[in-house]
Amino acid sequence: MQPAQELVKICPPHRGVRLGMTTRRSFLGGALLGVVVAPAGAQTRVPSTLRDSVRAAMPLVVLDPGHGGADPGAIGGQGTEEKRIVLAVAQELRRRLEGSGRCRVAMTRSSDVFVPLRSRVEFARQRDAALLLSIHADSAPSGMGGRARGASIYTLGETASDAFSAALARRENLADQAGGLRLPSVTADVQRILLSMMRSETRQGSERVARATLSALAEGVPLLSNPHRRAGFVVLKAPDVPSALVEIGFLSHPEDELMLRRPAWRTRIAGALAEGVIAYLGRRVAT
């Protein structure tokens, strides 16, 4: 079943009127994309059943398992490929989130295929996602924290919080081209104001999801020192979708690799991530 795709047909993103719920972000998103906000009373297709209506009102979480296809990501000493581990965690996380009944879920990839980084960002933006959560597992080169282990969360930073984070972002971005974001055809002043408002709101959301996820992970998963880090990952650059990137452990560390190979351990990580995401969504609705 692919509920997200089904929903997209019912409710195209950035229409301005979204089944009676126009969020500030979707309004700004519509304005930025040069889309006219429909006037009150405009024709809007509505779901045919109450259940569809309730589902449509639920926020959409986009899960983004890193790498895929010809890009294996990091490779552990035992030959464990990052692309496989992170897909397994994302699929378990999807099951848990959908089972919670608190959100809809879509994935940037659900099989072993390569997806360009900017396409992952656009995937979330086009669906007006409430959150984009990228899932990775890292490998630290010897000399740059070769003994590093544990999970960490990244949010977007203009300047990387440390040399380690900068090197990591460079490696993760290498598989793709970084570039400017799609910008609308409005005057430069309007664009600047809207972007500034939107980025500020998005940044606050990203920080909140990082805090919620880290506190859930801390209950049962070893964390890297200073586990909330900042770097310029391409997948964190959506101006209108709160985004975070979780590194679930280090394939370069023998014990981390051993644990990440175990389905039970991946289930534990997915459970903690689900808890963090649900806590974030709860606060998002409350504020």
Stretch of 41-49, 63-71, 145-153, 261-269 contacting Zn ion, by CB under 5 A: 63-71
Nearer to Zn ion, 174 or 183 (CB): 174
Nearer to Zn ion, 34 or 69 (CB): 69
CA dihedral of 4, 85, 207, 195, whole degrees rounded to 10: -50
Nearer to Zn ion, 212 or 235 (CB): 235
In which element (H, E) is residue 154 found?
strand 151-156
CA 263/CA 260 separation, integer angstroms:
8
**Member of 29, 68, 73, 205 binding Zn ion (CB under 5 A):** 73
Cα-to-chain-centroid distance, residue 207: 12
The residue type of 70 is A
Tokens 């990387």 found at: 160
Least separation in angstroms between residue 236's CB and Zn ion is 13
Cα-to-chain-centroid distance, residue 220: 22
Question: What does DSSP assign to residue 75?
Answer: B
Least separation in angstroms between residue 232's CB and Zn ion is 14
Count interface residues toward Zn ion (CB under 5 A). 3
Q: Give the list of residues 6+ apart from residue 161 with CB closer than 8 angstroms, or none.
A: 226, 229, 230, 231
Nearer to Zn ion, 106 or 117 (CB): 117
Stretch of 18-26, 41-49, 58-66, 143-151 contacting Zn ion, by CB under 5 A: 58-66
Nearer to Zn ion, 66 or 242 (CB): 66
CA 203/CA 272 separation, integer angstroms:
22
Least separation in angstroms between residue 239's CB and Zn ion is 23
CA 113/CA 94 separation, integer angstroms:
18
Residue 108 exposed, middle or buried by CB count within 10 Å (0-12, 13-18, 19+)? buried
Tokens 């506190």 found at: 215
Least separation in angstroms between residue 91's CB and Zn ion is 17
* Residues 109-138 as x/- pattern, contact with Zn ion by CB under 5 A: ---------------------------x--
**Member of 65, 66, 150, 271 binding Zn ion (CB under 5 A):** 66
Least separation in angstroms between residue 51's CB and Zn ion is 37
Least separation in angstroms between residue 12's CB and Zn ion is 32
Least separation in angstroms between residue 73's CB and Zn ion is 4
Nearer to Zn ion, 18 or 230 (CB): 230
Stretch of 41-49, 62-70, 102-110, 179-187 contacting Zn ion, by CB under 5 A: 62-70
CA 205/CA 155 separation, integer angstroms:
10
What are the backbone dihedrals phi and psi of residue 143, each rounded to the nearest 5 degrees, phi first?
Answer: 95, -20
Contacting positions for Zn ion (CB under 5 A): 66, 73, 136
